[in-house]
Amino acid sequence: MQACTLIARAKINLYLEILGSRPDGYSEVAMVLQSVHLADRLQLKCRPHGIHLTCDCPEVPTDARNLAYRAAELLQKECHSSAGVEIHIEKHIPVAAGLAGGSADAAAVLVGLNQLWGLGLTVGELQSLAARLGSDIPFCVQGGTQLATGRGEVLEPLADWEGIPVLLAKPKHLGVSTAWAYQAFRSRRESLGANAPSEPALPTLPQALAALSRQDPPALARSLRNDLEQVVLPEYAIVGELRQALLSAGALGSLMSGSGPTVFGIMPSLELATQARDTLRRQFQNVEFWVTQFAPTGILLQPDPCSLSPT
Ligand code: ATP
């Protein structure tokens, strides 16, 4: 195979609990991550040497700051490969939105180059390399529905739950830095110490896992939790407004995804999701909306038919 196309899907966090700080500077977390159909599209083409990356979105860097570029560089180094690649990214996942767009692109490059360069790495080996690039990337390699612990890299697949309708809402021209959100959460917890106000009873991980195993949308809606809302909502009022607006528009439950600012609503049907999107678009002109659904995998690889070697 000389070339391939990859579909690299976004994720939402159905549950994000911060358990504490780790000596390596990361936070210890318990998360339930869910792939959705909203996806970037990547084209990979073999070249004799070097990594060349282009992207249709001007705000995304095309050099070694790009996670997809770094994924190719890491594979070259770890597999002692001198092979090169041309990568083109067609962005559909909004940037710095809490939807792991960059992580999905990096995971797609790991999966794609494993095939194109004939590296023969197992999924576990790809996930270990992915963990060196970023905490959400190991999840993106397989995607679906997974429980992630540690700093997000210890994964346990949960039963697939396909097709649940989701409405995503992202304020235009607003990005939230993941590093800032975790740091702000840590500072808040340290400064409040023993004086921390008791939070209203938050859902627990066993509640979320029970809702998932019963595949019960209203129970899932009741068990949604994201601790980072405690620092992002006071800073960005629009995030809280969108959560309320999604509920008023018929969502069973709504939550900020990752470090935001994207908010998602679990919708009772695709029809209601589409109606809610159209109503909310008129109400919030500076917000983008997408109707999507839970997806069973993170990356889809489609070989370029012209590049398959004759058998
Ligand atoms: P996460 O949910 O994993 O925290 P995110 O969705 O909040 O991630 P990304 O869209 O991955 O955020 O982008 C975060 C930053 O990473 C951006 O500011 C961007 O400059 C940089 N970046 C690096 N590679 C990419 C990429 N392939 N696509 C988008 N952004 C990228």
Residue 309 has pLDDT above 70, yes or no: no
Closest CA to ligand 1's atom 20? 60
Write out pLDDT tens, residues 26-81: 899 999 999 999 999 999 999 999 999 999 999 999 999 999 999 999 999 999 88
Q: Is 169 in the pocket of ligand 1 (CB under 6 A)?
A: no
Counting every residue, how long is the chain?
311
Q: Which tokens in the block code for residue 221? A: 């809606």
Q: Which tokens in the block code for residue 198? A: 């008791």
Q: Is 165 in the pocket of ligand 1 (CB under 6 A)?
A: no
Ligand 1 centroid to 64 CA: how many Å?
A: 13
Q: What's the whole-number mean pLDDT along residues 92-103?
A: 96
Q: Is 72 in the pocket of ligand 1 (CB under 6 A)?
A: no
Q: Which residues are catalytic?
A: 11, 136
pLDDT of residue 302: 87
Q: In terms of C-beta density within 10 A (0-12 exposed, 13-18 middle, 19 or more buried), how is residue 159 classed?
A: exposed
pLDDT of residue 301: 96
Cβ(42)–Cβ(105) under 8 Å? yes
Phi, psi torsion values for 13, nearest 5 degrees: -100, 115
Domains and CATH numbers, the chain: 3-160+296-303 (3.30.230.10), 165-293 (3.30.70.890)
Phi, psi torsion values for 16, nearest 5 degrees: -145, 105
Residue 33, SS3? strand
Closest CA to ligand 1's atom 18? 96
Please tell me whether the overall predicted TM-score, pTM, comes out greater than 0.75 for this model: yes
Pocket test for ligand 1, best of 6, 60, 88 (most atoms within 8 A of CB): 60
Cβ(248)–Cβ(279) under 8 Å? no
Cβ(101)–Cβ(60) under 8 Å? no
Cα separation, 267 vs 289, in Å, equals 13
Average pLDDT for the chain: 94
Q: Is 153 in the pocket of ligand 1 (CB under 6 A)?
A: no
Write out pLDDT tens, residues 199-239: 678 999 999 999 999 999 999 999 999 999 999 999 999 99
Q: Is 101 in the pocket of ligand 1 (CB under 6 A)?
A: yes
pLDDT of residue 311: 47
Write out pLDDT tens, residues 160-196: 898 999 999 999 999 899 999 999 999 998 887 766 6
